[in-house]
Amino acid sequence: MPIEIEAPEQLGYDSIECNLTESSYTDFRFKDLKLNLNELVIAYIDHRGHPELRQLLAQETGGAISANQVLLTSGAAQALFIISTTLLEPGDDMIVIRPNYATNLETPRAIGAQLKIVDLTFENNWKIDPAEIEKQITSKTKFVSVTVPHNPTGTIMSVDDLKALVQITAKHGCRLLVDETYREMNFNGALPYAATFGSHVISVASFSKTFGLPGIRVGWLMTRDEQLFEQFFAAKEQIQICGSALDEEIAYQFYRKRGHFISLIFNNLQRRFATLKDWMESQEFLEWVEPTGGCVAFPRIRADVLKNIDLEKFYKTLNREYSTHVGPGHWFEQPKHFMRIGYGWPTDEALSKGLRNIESAIRGQL
């Protein structure tokens, strides 16, 4: 599996002036959370995860999922790893959409599964089409993997399409994994957790993105299939026994007060999205499918501009001369004239400056 050598954490956050690579809301500073952790005992904790936190997460499903059907994991990334390694043997079939968050492709690949990739396209508005997925399902398909809201495009499957996919997978007797790591970041209100739609559906989510807490490494999976849950739980115990007492207590105390933080988060997200949208609407060089959620967009350099551009030189200039970084298309197995712009993380100033820098780095070559 490739190492993320281009990630800003690896390059050093301080070395980048305009960091437009991130796929989360701005990271919170601990003191701004105003939490009290003094009485916390740093013990091994409940192996399923903080019981009250699981209870709160389950409550979000209106009783469709119980606290014992929620497994806390070390980020959504670990949940995805546990799911793939539990469900897949070498040679098994699975279906996954692309572009996607790398783990959704890389872990099944590393296991030696046969990936049937359903490529989403700009021309089709990055739409996840249940009928296209159904065409790929065979009796050997172990699971279908989709990401909603979608990274890197910020587009969102409609609830009707999601329900159609739930029915299709149920009909064919395979499972459905819905990576809902950006669930709350839906401009039209969060969809219900997909795991509430059927016992063959697995939801994965996290504190990293909407809540700006990627450093506590707390995510979760949900499934109503009790036998499968036991397998996931056993895998987690083998990896780490239990989660971090400190991380899960921070997540719990934060989640109890989330109403307070959510308005701040959404105000900032909306304003930054408006900055990006204004910029895109005045663009001569780039075109996009306008996102309906998330905190990232995935525009591309227009074909008429592209023929006059050396892309390697563009990224080099952008990174070195303008100290501006975006997520280049190859992070998502897409051509390099696509780029992911993370607008939810940078300050307003860094975002505006970074966008101007992208334009300047292109204009410099024309």
Ligand X SMILES: Cc1ncc(COP(=O)(O)O)c(C=O)c1O
Binding interface with ligand X (CB under 6 A) = 23, 75-77, 101, 147, 151, 179, 181, 206, 208, 214, 219
Q: Toward ligand X, which CB reaches closer, 49 or 283?
A: 49
By beta carbon distance, the residue nearest ligand X is: 75
Q: How far is the CB of 138 from ligand X (least distance, A)?
A: 26
Residue 310 buriedness (CB in 10 A; 0-12 / 13-18 / 19+): exposed
Partners of 144 in the beta sheet?
95, 176
Strand 324-328, strand 286-287: pairing: unpaired
Are 358 and 337 in contact by the 8 Å Cβ rule? The answer is: no
Q: Toward ligand X, which CB reaches closer, 299 or 327?
A: 327
Q: Toward ligand X, which CB reaches closer, 178 or 361?
A: 178
Q: Using CA atoms, how far apart are residues 114 and 66, in angstroms rounded to an integer?
A: 33
Q: Using CA atoms, how far apart are residues 305 and 360, in angstroms rounded to an integer?
A: 13
Structure tokens at 354: 């970074």
Q: Toward ligand X, which CB reaches closer, 137 or 296?
A: 296
Structure tokens at 110: 């590393």
Q: Using CA atoms, how far apart are residues 230 and 359, in angstroms rounded to an integer?
A: 51
| Per-residue b or e along 24-36, where b marks 16 or more CB atoms closer than 10 Å to that residue's CB | bbbebeeeeeebe
Q: Toward ligand X, which CB reaches closer, 10 or 282?
A: 10
Q: Toward ligand X, which CB reaches closer, 149 or 362?
A: 149
Is 264 strand, coil or helix? Answer: helix
